[in-house]
């Protein structure tokens, strides 16, 4: 390492690290070709993309807020993945988190609480709801052997329809129907329950969810790498039988792992609701759960990887929306690019492993 | 009452058809130990190219051919990635679902424009011998051999 020239293993390592970036660049190049093929101007599209992703304080804040929701899902995912559990239910956990946060935020006594409790209680309610939703899948797994991929996915559909039910029924969360044009939405939550902004700039939607997310990312990294709990999760994930024989409480660990993954999803839902949307409506989770799952999968268990991936997907989503509005590029194109990126990164893993394998 | 029942049974069979077809395909890959999570994406691709083929040629059977061909191409790429390159099957499946949703929506917008009311030729109704003769008073138990609706609808 004293020489300026990289030694052979280091060069391999750099190559291995650069492969995901090459995959992303390749996918984006295909996207540009598609934009050109659809007869739109490429410079316009790129300008619109950059503008929408981080051109203004508003755009940057919106992108980061998106990334916060995605990272929370991704962090929960990698924790459960450590125990060899695949949490596909992020979308549903966001949904139940959003329902619980709205319900608590709209409960009259909460809005007047001091010391930030008005903000914290709905967040906690969302987290708890998500934890229960994830925990159900965990209990089903340890009691009945239900595959958690199936159960979390199906619980997700149940949760999405529960949102629909909540906003359709005035007995639940629908706003009072004053006219026939009252939309099936909840009342907006009171100002005191909204997440405080991070900057004094009223033009920036950036809220304290970012701080919360970074703290939780740190906590997850420490738990996974430095704690007994993290080690036990890993043991369960690598060989459940051996871990149980070694005296670890296998069933409890599995339920808790899925519960925590769910809690992160629920918190993401509460943050989305209290940070940006402010009222509950059907389909408010709009694919964040699945994007977060992809972020978690692509990070290969690394906390930094989750944050980087979430930020990237956040920019991609914001930029894509802006490309549609400003440059007339169909938003479906961003979806295509996103799909290509996921496939390209996943497909190039074998190359990365080969290069890293040569190091050992 | 009888009529309602007949409609109910016929539509149950009609709606179960795509599920049965897709699930049989999934069964084959599950037997081989491959998780095909992109069933949704494959169906979406096939639906789009089936409609496109049928609309372009005017022949619904050629449309079915296009649909199968398109889905085969998707499946081949997916198989190469998840078997030869040993990519994570879950990620690849989700990736293809996202890609199919985006690509079909994009192609629809490019080929048909914003909202089209283009009629596409559908498959003929099928009367199953014996089953169609069941004694329902007014309406015979008939079942469409294709679940595809005969209009191209924009993807959400």
* The pLDDT of residue B21 is above 60: yes
- Whether B60 is in a domain gets the answer yes
What are the φ/ψ torsions at residue A180 (nearest 5 degrees)?
-70, -15
Please give the angle made by the CA atoms of A195, A198 and A202, to the nearest 5 degrees. Answer: 90
Distance CA A300, CA A81 (A): 9
What is the 8-class DSSP label of residue A193?
Answer: G
Please tell me the distance in Å from A329's CA to the nearest CA on chain B. Answer: 10
Q: What's the pLDDT at A214?
A: 92
- Where in chain A are the domains? 1-38+330-360, 63-329
Mean pLDDT of A230-241: 86
B98 pLDDT exceeds 80? yes
Q: What is the pLDDT of residues A7-53, one digit of tens each?
A: 556 777 777 777 878 888 888 888 888 888 877 788 888 888 888 88
Question: What is the DSSP track for A198-240?
Answer: SSS-TT---BTHHHHHHHHHHHHHHHHHHSHHHHHHHHHHH-H
Please check the confidence at residue B92 and state whether its pLDDT lies above 50.
yes
In a domain, B84, yes or no: yes
Q: Number of H helices and number of E strands within chain B?
A: 4, 2
Q: What is the pLDDT of residue B128?
A: 65
Contact A23, A345 (CB under 8 A): yes
User: Where residue A2 falls among pLDDT bands split at 50, 70, 90?
Assistant: very low
Q: What is the pLDDT of residue B126?
A: 67
Report the length, in residues, of chain B: 156
ipTM value, please give it.
Answer: 0.75
**Contacts with B87 from chain A: Cβ below 8 Å:** 343, 346-347, 349-350
Q: CA A280, CA A97: separation in Å to the nearest integer?
A: 11
β-bridge mates for residue A186, sequence order: A174
Residue B119 pairs in a beta bridge with B151
The residue range of the domain holding B93 is 2-7+35-144
Alpha carbon dihedral A272, A273, A277, A279, in 10-degree steps, equals 160
Give the per-residue pLDDT at A260.
Answer: 94
Q: A61 to chain B, minimum CA–CA distance in Å?
A: 25
Residues of A with CB below 8 A from B109's CB? 330, 332
Q: How far apart are CA A126 and CA A59, in angstroms?
A: 26
CA distance B47 to B44: 5
Phi first, then psi, for residue B151 (nearest 5°) are -120, 145
d(CA A91, CA A160) in angstroms, rounded, equals 8
| Count of domains observed in chain B | 1
**CA gap A202, A128 in Å, rounded:** 31
Interface of B with A (CB under 8 A): 81, 85-88, 90-92, 94-103, 105-106, 109-110
Mutation target to probe the A interface, by most A beta carbons within 10 A, among B95, B96, B108, B111 is: B95
pLDDT value for A100: 93
Q: Quick check: B92 and A332 CB within 8 A?
A: no
pLDDT at B146: 42
Residue B76 confidence class, pLDDT cut points 50, 70, 90: very high
pLDDT at B150 over 50: no
In a domain, B24, yes or no: no
Residues of B in contact with A332 (CB under 8 A): 101-103, 105-106, 109
The span from the CA of A329 to the CA of A45, in Å, is: 7
- What residues are paired with B125 via a beta bridge? B144
CA atoms within 13 A on the CB side of A35: 26
Instruction: Please give the helix or strand (H or E) that residue B144 lies within, else none.
Output: strand B143-144
Distance in angstroms (rounded) separating the CA atoms of residues A15 and A12: 5
pTM (predicted TM-score) = 0.80
Which chain B residues contact residue A349 at CB under 8 A?
85-88
């Amino acid at each position: 390492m004293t020489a300026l020239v990289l030694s052979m293993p280091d060069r391999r390592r750099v190559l291995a690290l650069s492969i995901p970036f090459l995959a992303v660049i390749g996918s984006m190049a295909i996207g540009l070709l598609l934009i050109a093929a659809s007869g739109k101007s490429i410079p316009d599209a790129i300008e619109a993309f950059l503008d929408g992703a981080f051109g203004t304080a508003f755009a940057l804040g919106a992108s980061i807020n998106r990334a916060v929701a995605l990272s929370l899902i991704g962090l929960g995912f990698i924790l459960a993945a450590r125990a060899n559990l695949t949490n596909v239910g992020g979308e549903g956990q966001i949904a139940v988190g959003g329902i619980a946060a709205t319900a608590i935020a709209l409960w009259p006594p909460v809005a007047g609480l001091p010391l930030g409790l008005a903000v914290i209680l709905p967040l906690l309610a969302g987290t708890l709801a998500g934890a229960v939703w994830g925990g159900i899948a965990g209990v089903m797994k340890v009691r009945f052997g239900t595959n958690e991929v199936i159960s979390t996915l199906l619980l997700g559909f149940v949760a999405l329809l529960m949102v629909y039910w909540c906003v359709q029924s005035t007995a639940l969360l629908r706003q009072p129907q004053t006219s026939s044009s009252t939309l099936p939405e909840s009342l907006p939550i009171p100002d005191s329950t909204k997440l405080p902004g991070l900057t004094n700039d009223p033009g920036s939607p950036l809220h304290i969810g970012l701080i919360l997310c970074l703290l939780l990312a740190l906590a997850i990294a420490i738990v996974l790498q430095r704690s007994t709990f993290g080690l036990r999760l890993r043991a369960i994930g690598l060989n459940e039988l051996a871990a149980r024989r070694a005296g670890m409480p296998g069933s409890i660990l599995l339920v808790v792992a899925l519960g925590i993954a769910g809690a992160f999803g629920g918190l993401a839902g509460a943050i989305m609701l209290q940070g940006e949307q402010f009222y509950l409506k059907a389909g408010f989770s709009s694919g964040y759960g699945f994007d977060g799952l992809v972020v978690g999968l692509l990070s290969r268990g690394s906390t930094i990887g989750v944050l980087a991936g979430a930020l990237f997907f956040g920019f991609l989503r914001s930029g894509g929306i802006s490309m549609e509005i400003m440059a007339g590029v169909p938003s479906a194109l961003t979806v295509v690019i996103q799909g290509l990126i996921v496939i390209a990164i996943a497909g190039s893993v074998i190359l990365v492993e080969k290069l890293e394998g040569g190091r050992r | 009452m009888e009529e309602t029942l007949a409609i109910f049974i016929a539509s149950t069979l009609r709606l179960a058809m795509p599920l049965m077809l897709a699930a049989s395909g999934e069964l084959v890959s599950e037997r081989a130990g491959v998780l095909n999570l992109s069933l949704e994406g494959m169906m979406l691709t096939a639906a789009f190219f089936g409609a496109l083929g049928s609309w372009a040629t005017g022949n619904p059977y050629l449309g079915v051919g296009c649909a199968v061909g398109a889905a085969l191409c998707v499946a081949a790429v997916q198989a190469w990635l998840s078997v030869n390159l040993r990519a994570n099957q879950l990620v690849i499946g989700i990736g293809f679902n996202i890609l199919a949703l985006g690509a079909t929506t994009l192609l629809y917008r490019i080929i048909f424009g914003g909202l089209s009311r283009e009629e596409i030729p559908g498959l003929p109704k099928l009367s199953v011998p014996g089953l169609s003769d069941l004694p329902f008073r007014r309406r015979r138990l008939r079942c469409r051999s294709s679940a595809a609706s005969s209009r191209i609808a924009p993807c959400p």
